[in-house]
Chain A
């Protein structure tokens, strides 16, 4: 692997600036003449806007402008859109209601933008925002998706009768019905996947700058995909043509999906900059983030899993209601459909699966992708029902899983996915060994002697990453292709810049991508710079989400490196008077195999640009670009085992051990991969034990709108994790990578809940399993 190549635990190149306070986030940016924006937001979950009076606000100190939804509409700025078309099972297209960047006539969730104030200081802007008078006529609100589907529920959008966005299905319903009818055993469950707020530590922010002289816009924004932001703002919101709009996502403080989407605020800042003639910066405070960042999860599901007399799975039937909030966010429609139902086969050979999903409007913040996006919801369904089935059948949960594992590849599931490689027994074995599964009964007995209830739960997850083959997702409704681009520029003295459309907001691309180059060319990683996050520097990209940057982003770099190497070989062969096929590149040299003839890398680069002696007809320079379009999804999988101790007196759960054994295929930097797993597990444990986004059902007010109310996992809530990996390389991409960013958040919630329900002897428990709920479940179990 070399000291800095693929597989090496290299400390991160980007850390220096972060540990010294020199990181540059959007809120750190200062542009000459820059002023500050504050939004006027709806205090009501559902209301008509009768009038807006901005006259008092306009007269406040420091105010430069006060702008409303009617003005942005009059200027031709378009509505926000959802970019993935889903058709209902009757063939009708999803019902997309209009979402203006600032509301014109009606508001549909608390926090929806209504007007914006631009002022000298942030404080001036906030003071003036409070002076904007909006007269609302309140309407009844609905926050629960199941209730929103009932006749007589408040209606949000005229396009969507009964608030139904789509009624979609996948799989063979009649085959499932037939299998259910002849099953030896059917396990049935009602499951709720709790709504979460992503909570990247850096709040969203945008700085819009309109340059009148050039008729050109620049937007600094907290984005995971600046190129997508540019094309969407250009093509759909009519902010400016792409060649007149530069989007820069500098250091971004975490995303977890919530910074994929293009929100009203960045559109408004760009538009307001032109309107007011000054650069306009907006930075969310934490409560604005809670109110307006796209939330995650929020599913209610009925599942049935059928078995034959030999405990082999024969069919699964799933019915899910998904809450999409007040408006359809950018990729919201795909999350409870193609990112969810296509993973319901889990790691198991299930001959028939049918899933029906109803997506619903409610008077809550829009819901979209959050770490895992659909796959945690699928895994929760599969792994809760499998564990429950084992308990009902009186067999070991591990062995029931093992008996039903898919063992031959490729494997076509009944729900689109074709799994390419995996060894599920290997990760199950690795996890059971690391968790000392065999020693659990003794530990349980010992805990009981201390008055504690000890439980063990497992979860064997699979996910689809490496998003995604463009043609395949296009046929499923995606509005864009999901390739990635890269450019490798070799400078005159041999240093290298890699331009990538992937975006790093914590993933460590500046290190891992440089490791790939070092591995290929033998140059130190210090001589390789990774350039990303700026549409003026990198021509095109699809960004970072869905654990795609390794599998797709790095594959594009591989393709560009192939081209660079090919040209470098030609130059070296020419200068060394050797055959091109005999040139090998290693340790920063181009060598003639079997001889002591070698050309240092930098001399080859110099020769490429000096162009004094190049092969006949060769263009000077050394710079190559490539686009990589994946041929399939990748399928990371693994086994998580959680062991808990519950205090029956208080209902408090302590995670005493958490083991993860993941198969991510080949790994570039194990240190970074482990860090991704740790963080993912923490978010999954947060969902299982602590985090719950709660709207008041009567008023639609967000009750959990700050860190005083929404329980973020803190260091004392979590153990150290025992993580390891197994490896079946992904056959679908040149590096054999599967992706590791979301696994922890996908695999861990069912493991935690399986462990607690095992400990307390009551399977009726919803997330987050707070001490109060666990205590009540213990009481309910002992009453029986």
Chain B
């Protein structure tokens, strides 16, 4: 067993975990934060994407002990109180989800993607960058639409702030 300490969605968390515990299982089982999903066990589907120190990672591919000392943001911590994050709002507005299972990982990956492309995104780039996230419901059409729309909103927001 190992002790881990990390900041999850702004709250400092400590816990004892088996050495083999993955970050996703620590979040789901120890912290009861079940918004992060497990879809494939081979780091292919991206349902488990969270932000680790500001970068999108697949939480099924990192041990909880490796995340110790880091700052983690999950889907539960993305909104600002009751105000949805622009990516969450865009997924809703453009019907970028159906069953909702891949959605938390999609939204976390999309947020990271938009942050990495302050110059803006086009359809081809969005499709290429979604390689690590699988959705079986939407055919990606509306996910791509939602991410492009969110990217626009966020770049306008950034311009306003500057």
User: Chain A residues in contact with chain B, CB under 8 A?
Assistant: 11-12, 14-25, 27-28, 30, 123, 199-203, 251-254, 256, 283, 285-287, 505-508, 671-672, 674-675, 678-683, 706-708, 712-716, 718, 720-721, 744
Contacts and interface: CB of A to CB of B under 8 A. Distances in A.
6 contacts: A25-B37, A199-B136, A675-B98, A682-B139, A715-B140, A716-B127
Interface stretch (B72-80, B114-122, B154-162): B72-80
Contacts of A11: 92-93, 95
A94 B101 CA distance: 38
Contacts of B142: 674-675, 678
Given A20-B75, A28-B34, A201-B102, A285 B41 contact: yes
B92 A678 contact: no
A201 B47 contact: yes
Nearest to B35: A21
Given A675-B141, A712-B134, 14 more contacts: A11-B92, A21-B75, A21-B104, A28-B28, A201-B47, A254-B101, A286-B40, A671-B95, A672-B95, A675-B138, A679-B98, A706-B42, A714-B134, A720-B141
Contacts of B38: 27, 203, 283
A17 B92 CA distance: 11
Contacts of A720: 123, 141, 144-145
A12 B34 contact: no
Nearest to A714: B131
A508 B98 CA distance: 7
B52 interface: no
B99 A287 contact: no
Contacts of A202: 37, 39, 99, 101
Given A20-B75, A203-B39, A707-B40, A253 B101 contact: yes
A137 B37 CA distance: 39
Contacts of A12: 92, 95
B33 A201 contact: no
Given A11-B92, A681-B139, A715 B131 contact: yes
A718 B140 contact: yes
B42 A715 contact: no
A671 B107 CA distance: 20
Nearest to A203: B39
Nearest to A16: B92
B123 A286 contact: no
Contacts of B37: 25, 27, 201-202, 253
A201 B35 contact: no
Most A-side CB within 10 Å, residue of B44, B103, B131, B137: B137
A715 B88 contact: no
Contacts, number: 179
Contacts of B139: 678-683, 713, 718, 721, 744
Q: Determine chain B's interface SS by DSSP, over half rule.
A: loop
A683 B143 CA distance: 16
A25 B101 contact: yes
Interface string B11-45: 00000001010000000100011111111111011
Contacts of A23: 35, 100-101
A708 B44 contact: yes
Given A682-B139, A714-B131, A253 B99 contact: yes
Most B-side CB within 10 Å, residue of A21, A256, A283, A671: A21
A27 B76 CA distance: 17
Given A201-B102, A707-B42, A715 B143 contact: yes
Interface size range on B against A:
35 or more
A32 B136 CA distance: 33
A744 B98 CA distance: 15
Contacts of A256: 136
Nearest to B143: A715
B97 interface: yes
B99 A19 contact: no
A21 B127 CA distance: 23
Contacts of A744: 139
A508 B96 CA distance: 12
Contacts of A707: 40, 42, 44-45, 134
Most A-side CB within 10 Å, residue of B42, B91, B107, B141: B141
B67 interface: no
A716 B136 contact: no
- Nearest 4 CB-CB pairings of A with B: A21-B35, A253-B101, A18-B100, A682-B139
A201 B39 contact: yes
Contacts of A712: 44, 134, 136
Given A19-B107, A23-B35, A200 B76 contact: no
Contacts of B76: 20-22
B143 A201 contact: no
Nearest to B39: A201
A171 B104 CA distance: 50
B149 interface: no
Contacts of B128: 715-716
A2 to B, nearest CB: 20
Contacts of A24: 34
B135 interface: yes
A129 to B, nearest CB: 16
B137 A506 contact: yes
B153 interface: no
B99 A505 contact: yes
A674 B138 CA distance: 9
B84 interface: yes
Contacts of B143: 715
A713 B37 CA distance: 20
B138 A287 contact: no
A19 B91 contact: yes
Contact of B97 (A18, A285, A716): A18
